[in-house]
Amino acid sequence: MKRKILIKYNKGNESVAILEEDVVVEYLNQKSDESVRGTLLIGLVKEYQPSLDAYFIDVGIDIRGFLPGKFTEKKLKAGTQLVVQVVKPAYMDKGMMLSSVISISGKYCVVTSNTEKLRVSAKIKDKSEHTRLMELAVNNCPQGLGLIIRTNANGLLDEMIIEDISNTTNLYKSIKEATGSPGEIIYKPEGIIGDVMRNFKVEDDIVYFDDIDIFNKYFKKFSTPGITAPVKYYNKDYDIYDFFGISNKIKQALGRKVWLKSGGTLVFDYTEAMCVIDVNTSKNTGAGNFSDTAFKTNIEAALEIAVQIRLRNIGGIIIVDFVDLDKPKNKELDIIFREHLENDKKKMTVGGFTSLGNYEITRIRKGRRLEHFDE
């Protein structure tokens, strides 16, 4: 599927909008002073809470970091200084969730302190290619470390992957030996722009940058002799999101209610671990009988919900209360909804209709839910 990627950059603040078939399906934003997932910093163990099986870590700010016992390789004592990695950035009154199991991403691999991890991305489906990359991982896994071969290593020459493993291992070792004061950042991964461009596909995607320096960086990276990469510089006087007509769509994703073209509505309500989406016919009275109107509303809702889940970055348990239908219509709706959900690359379990008639999904979320739009 061809994607259009729009990237804004302003004084270190980054935002990215991703469109598929001219429909905005993802929006990411990141402030320049925001802690980033994957950041490595110096931490100081303050105390251990047995009831939580977790350590509280001094990371140089008022709110202490939280290091679950399952994210450590050994027991730690109060006063121990160590390198920790941000699993979840600080948010409101919640401190960072941390890990002392360190992972560093390269272009084609991930080097980790978890020695039990030696694998190839499950997204590489070709068995012979999977076997080749696994042999490469086994033969080049750094001593005393773990190694993951990433999806974008698929089809690459051995030499390219081996070189990346070596570079990433050297970076890992230099970081692991670092010392400093609590809270001192020793490694900050690329922000959301780097994350998105790491998965940029020249043959399928086109990207627009509104910053000339970042445009030049990626234009040079992806262009080859005789081939100009689909990397464009947006130099108009008005906002890139307004030009492509997506600002209102992103703002709509901040609200509780979304109107469907037919006149139906979606209503989103959140708890800490759950999102409930209510589908209503609302103004969609329809020209036919109620059953037909309800089915058409549900089909339209299924398409929009699949987009909204990605755009809002909803995680945890998702319950959809579709308009009531009979079992044959529900079965047809289930098939169509699953097809729409397949476009989502996040790990998801689709439970389908429950015994109570609601539709259940669980979705792994990386990063926070969409909560504000920086114009």
- The boundaries of the domain holding residue 274 are 254-363
pLDDT for 64 equals: 85
Which residues make beta-bridge pairs with 224?
Answer: 227
How far apart, in whole angstroms, are the C-alpha atoms of residue 141 and residue 151?
A: 17
Two tokens at 119?
Answer: 């694998």
pLDDT for 213 equals: 94
Two tokens at 245?
Answer: 């007509």
φ, ψ at 211 (rounded to 5°): -115, 125
Domain with 16 in it: what CATH number? 3.30.420
- Both 287 and 334 in one domain: the answer is yes
pLDDT for 286 equals: 58
- Both 92 and 19 in one domain: the answer is no
What Å distances lie between residue 168 and 120, 146, 165, 174, CA to CA?
A: 16, 12, 5, 10
pLDDT for 10 equals: 85
- Both 93 and 108 in one domain: the answer is no
Residues with Cβ < 8 Å from 126, sequence gap 6 or more?
154
Two tokens at 232?
Answer: 């464009």
Domain with 48 in it: what CATH number? 2.40.50.140
Domain with 284 in it: what CATH number? 3.40.630
- Out of 220, 243, 266, a domain closes at 243
Which residues make beta-bridge pairs with 209?
Answer: 7, 233
- Both 59 and 79 in one domain: the answer is yes
pLDDT in tens, 147-187: 999 988 999 999 999 999 999 999 998 888 888 888 888 88
Count of domains observed in the chain:
4
pLDDT for 133 equals: 95
- Both 113 and 161 in one domain: the answer is yes
Residue 368 lies in a domain: no
Residues with Cβ < 8 Å from 181, sequence gap 6 or more?
42, 60
Identify the CA nearest to 211 among candidates 241, 242, 189, 232: 232
Residue 160 lies in a domain: yes
pLDDT for 175 equals: 85
- Both 151 and 224 in one domain: the answer is no
Residue 370 lies in a domain: no
How far apart, in whole angstroms, are the C-alpha atoms of residue 53 and residue 91?
A: 21
- Both 348 and 303 in one domain: the answer is yes
3-state secondary structure (DSSP) of residue 209: strand
3-state secondary structure (DSSP) of residue 360: strand
**Residue pointed to by tokens 């729009």:** 6
- Both 271 and 357 in one domain: the answer is yes
What are the helix (H) ranges across the chain? 127-140, 158-176, 192-198, 212-222, 240-243, 247-252, 290-312, 327-341
Q: Which residues of 172-192 are buried (b: 16+ CB within 10 A; e: fewer)?
A: beeebeeeeebeebbbeeebb
- Both 298 and 330 in one domain: the answer is yes
Pairing of strands 23-30, 274-280: unpaired
- Both 354 and 278 in one domain: the answer is yes
- Both 340 and 274 in one domain: the answer is yes
Are 259 and 265 in contact, with CB atoms under 8 Å apart?
yes
What Å distances lie between residue 277 and 2, 75, 302, CA to CA?
A: 29, 43, 11
Residue 371 lies in a domain: no
Residue 116 lies in a domain: yes
pLDDT by residue for the chain (375 residues), tens only, comes to 789 999 999 888 899 999 998 899 999 988 877 778 889 999 999 999 999 899 999 988 778 889 998 998 888 999 999 999 998 887 767 788 999 999 998 889 999 988 888 999 988 989 999 999 999 999 999 889 999 999 889 999 999 999 999 999 999 988 888 888 888 888 888 788 988 988 888 888 999 999 999 999 999 988 888 778 899 999 998 899 999 999 988 888 888 999 999 889 999 999 888 999 999 987 766 556 677 888 999 999 999 999 999 999 999 999 999 999 888 999 999 999 999 999 898 889 999 999 999 999 999 877 778 865 554
3-state secondary structure (DSSP) of residue 165: helix
pLDDT for 253 equals: 86
Residue 185 lies in a domain: no
Residue 107 lies in a domain: yes
**Residue pointed to by tokens 């998702």:** 318
- Both 268 and 278 in one domain: the answer is yes
How far apart, in whole angstroms, are the C-alpha atoms of residue 76 and residue 101?
A: 13
Residue 249 lies in a domain: no
Identify the CA nearest to 141 among candidates 111, 103, 106, 161: 111
pLDDT for 166 equals: 94
